[in-house]
Amino acid sequence: MIDTATALELVLLHGSKQTEIIEISLKDALDHVLAEDVISRIDLPPFRQSAMDGYALSNTNSLTYSLIGEIQAGDSVNPNLKIGEAVRIFTGAPVPDTANVVVMQEKVVISGDTILVNGSLVSDMNIRTKGEQIKIGDIALNKGTIVKGVHIGFLASLGVVKVRVYKKPSIAIVVTGNELVRPGSVLSYGEIYESNGAMLTSVLEELGYNRTTVIAIKDDLNKTIKTLKDTINDYDIMIVTGGVSVGDYDFVGKALEVIGVQKIFHGVKQKPGKPLFFGKKERTSIFGLPGNPAAALTCFYIYVYPLLKKYEGAQQVNLTSVTLPLLNDYTVLGSRAQFLKARLQGSGVEVLTGQSSAMVKSIVEANVLVFLPEHSSNKKKGENVKTILLPNK
């Protein structure tokens, strides 16, 4: 069995990479990865803008100015201010080329058509200079950026309507087990509701991956071979859950071998997720995740998520981790590296009870995973631990 760092390295080394680039509307670009730098075609702001409601004037060290007009946001005017003249102006309106100061209205006393400035005037005050955010021809967003709502807002402010991104992978989620029954039917003794399919589909959707299909297989070697063989070529990524361990009816490893999947590794010194499998066949990357739901989800975040990001050429492939103090003692069981379900509370992290791989209930409460390396000793409250932040939690 290999260690967790080697496993992740091998996934990133051997996992496939998308080369197909598509052009899509900016409004559909959420969670896609930019396939090229986006260059600004305008200065932002495109003209000198007033940052305040007030008066624009050319500072002549006088405190008295006569009003000659008004400029609203959206007006397309550029009046020529003579010495001693000012215009009423509003936030976002174009500042005349002949003005170098905007005084906010609270600092002005009006008397008929004359204003008296109460305070000092500093050149360029309350004026947003042309191109102060970004200049025409500059890079607005780098290739490899994962597009989020703020990026869409920024690009919209530059007038961008289409972006070139990497095509999302198609993903097959194959759930295995005789005991699995679709929610909606009544359970017979020995049966459980199938939940990994719904969980992985939804977690993938939260991350912006919608090209998913769930396929269910019974514990039968020939059927497993046939279904995996019929499925594998149609998808970029195949995620199988269950049947990857050592039981007499755990057929996934054998079936993948029969259909010619190149095994990269099978087994990692970690808890949960000891039986994790990773392999590839032509363009398809194949994960065999443990059937236990919390183990499957943990392996998804630690290994599948980085591959999805690498696949799309993202700059950052791993989940963000931080170092935080433990809020409780934790007794380490066994020598494998551990990914513990935990929750951020204030400035620390609490390891949750119910660490069993089978417990879906406790992973619901978790918003982070605490990572303890192999052979860790028992942890005391206050000790710093590596804490992996889970997305959308």
Contact residues for ligand MOO (CB under 6 A)?
Answer: 271-274, 290, 292, 295, 357
Q: Tokens standing for 360?
A: 């879906």
CB nearer to ligand MOO: pick between 356 and 367: 356
User: Of ligand LQZAQKY5, ligand MOO, none, which one does residue 192 interact with (CB within 5 to 8 Å by kind)?
Assistant: ligand LQZAQKY5
Contact between 368 and 388 (Cβ < 8 Å): yes
Part of the chain binding ligand LQZAQKY5 (CB under 6 A), chosen from 32-40, 119-127, 151-159, 239-247: 239-247
Q: Strand, coil or helix: what is 157?
A: helix
Q: Name the residue number minimizing CB distance to ligand LQZAQKY5.
A: 291
Residue 357 CB, nearest approach to ligand MOO (Å)? 3
Q: According to DSSP H, which parts of 104-163 are helical?
A: 149-157
Residue 274 CB, nearest approach to ligand MOO (Å)? 4
Cα–Cα distance, 92 to 52 (Å, whole number): 8
Q: Which of 295, 293, 257 is nearest to 275 (CA)?
A: 295
Helix then strand count (H, E) for the chain reads 8, 26
Contact characters 341-370, ligand LQZAQKY5, x per CB under 6 A? ----------------xx------------
DSSP 27: G
Greatest C-alpha distance within the chain: 95
Cα–Cα distance, 105 to 273 (Å, whole number): 65
Residue 300 CB, nearest approach to ligand MOO (Å)? 12
Asked if 275 is part of the footprint of ligand LQZAQKY5 (rule: CB under 6 A), the reply reads yes
Cα–Cα distance, 102 to 327 (Å, whole number): 53
Q: Which of 15, 96, 279, 293 binds ligand LQZAQKY5 (CB under 6 A)?
A: 293
DSSP 185: B
User: Of ligand MOO, ligand LQZAQKY5, none, which one does residue 50 interact with (CB within 5 to 8 Å by kind)?
Assistant: none
Cα–Cα distance, 106 to 126 (Å, whole number): 13
- Considering CB under 6 A, how many residues would be counted as binding ligand LQZAQKY5? 27
Which residues are at the interface with ligand LQZAQKY5 (CB under 6 A)? 175, 177, 179-180, 192, 194-197, 241-247, 250, 272, 274-275, 290-293, 295, 357-358
